[in-house]
Amino acid sequence: MTLVVVTTSPRVAPGLLSGRAWAALGSGRVLTGSAGHPLLPYLAEEDIPVEVVTPDPVALARESVGETIVWVAAQDGDEPFMRAVGRAALDLPEPPVIELIPGSYDLPGARFLDLVTVMDRLRRTCPWDAEQTHESLVPYLLEESYEVLETIEEGDHASLREELGDLIFQVVFHSRVAQEREEADGGFDVDDVVQGVVDKLVRRHPHVFAGVEVSGADEVNANWDAIKAAERAAKGRASLLDGVPMGQPALSLAHGLQSRAERAGAPESLSRAVGQGIGRELFDLVRRARAAGLDPEAELRAAARDYRDRVRAWERSREAPGS
């Protein structure tokens, strides 16, 4: 006969099962080793009896020889137990057929729910996490952002995965802190954050989501600027420079201000007349870098990395025998 193993994802509502899974659950005697399995109430609603048993791989394999047994696996997959069942089945003279049916499975992004759950527990039970504020977390947000930047600059794609995870954690952490405020006081949760960026992306990509025809990337950029201008007007922001983060590194700030002003048609003479002394020279260097199609921040960082490598080489040469 057959042992049918039905697996479910803890990231999917327990009553949402595939058609194959519901059919399997009605095909034989249903067992589980998880008394608290969230699927059990839904099976009871469908009048499907479930026996909660002590997991015994040898007994389960033997019983499956004479009848169809449906095993509702724990939400962690019951992998060690199922491997033991497989070994026990192979030891039988006539082993049962073992069929695996995913009752529910993760969609892309489902693991994000795990992070939200972990963050909620940390905020409630860890003394350090519980006392953090938006302000106290700022240094960590900046540090994690720069670590992502460093892995990209170094081409360290293996480390990029970890650093992006640390950065996402900061976003979830801030969202969890904000969740404790009333909405009238600027409270929100991680769903509000995600919904906001989804709405923004859909709104700013009418050529993808609204059937608008575009001739190429230049028209996409033009539409983007027009949509952002409308958004600024709706928020009561008069200047095209409103929303540029003034706390970013100075080269990036100058680059961003010049780029946005240029796209709006501001005369180049404005950028030639700002500041004085070294400040004016640096601001003009940013303008010249942009005219050459270069990112001044990236260029200076590249020069800084080159300098770092040269200093390290010089240090090693001093430490070499006979130097």
pLDDT, tens digit, 9 for 90 and up, residues 204-254: 999 999 988 889 998 998 888 788 878 877 777 667 787 788 888 888 899
pLDDT for 276: 86
**What gap in Å lies between CA 291 and CA 285, rounded to an integer?**
10
**Which structural domains are found in the chain, ordered by start?**
2-104 (3.40.1010), 108-188 (1.10.287.1080), 248-322 (no CATH)
DSSP state of 185: G
**What gap in Å lies between CA 243 and CA 174, rounded to an integer?**
20
DSSP string, 5-37: EEE--TTS-TT---HHHHHHHTSSEEEES-TT-
Point out the least confidently predicted range of 32-36, 182-186, 256-260.
256-260
pLDDT for 78: 86
* Phi and psi torsions of 2, nearest 5°: -135, 140
pLDDT, tens digit, 9 for 90 and up, residues 72-104: 999 888 899 999 999 999 999 999 999 999 999
| DSSP bridge pairs for 50 | 30
User: Phi-psi category of 132—alpha, beta or left, where left has phi over 0 and alpha has psi -120 to 50?
Assistant: beta
Residue 260, pLDDT above cutoff 90? no
Residue 302, pLDDT above cutoff 70? yes
**What gap in Å lies between CA 11 and CA 54, rounded to an integer?**
25
- Predicted confidence band of residue 318 (pLDDT cuts 50, 70, 90): confident
The mean pLDDT value of the chain amounts to: 91
**Where do we find the tokens 């997991």?**
55
pLDDT for 2: 93
User: Phi-psi category of 94—alpha, beta or left, where left has phi over 0 and alpha has psi -120 to 50?
Assistant: beta
- Predicted confidence band of residue 323 (pLDDT cuts 50, 70, 90): low
**What gap in Å lies between CA 261 and CA 239, rounded to an integer?**
10
pTM: 0.73
pLDDT, tens digit, 9 for 90 and up, residues 134-144: 999 999 999 99
Residue 128, pLDDT above cutoff 70? yes
pLDDT for 237: 66
Q: Is 86 exposed, middle or buried (0-12, 13-18, 19+ CB in 10 A)?
A: middle
pLDDT for 182: 95
pLDDT for 15: 87
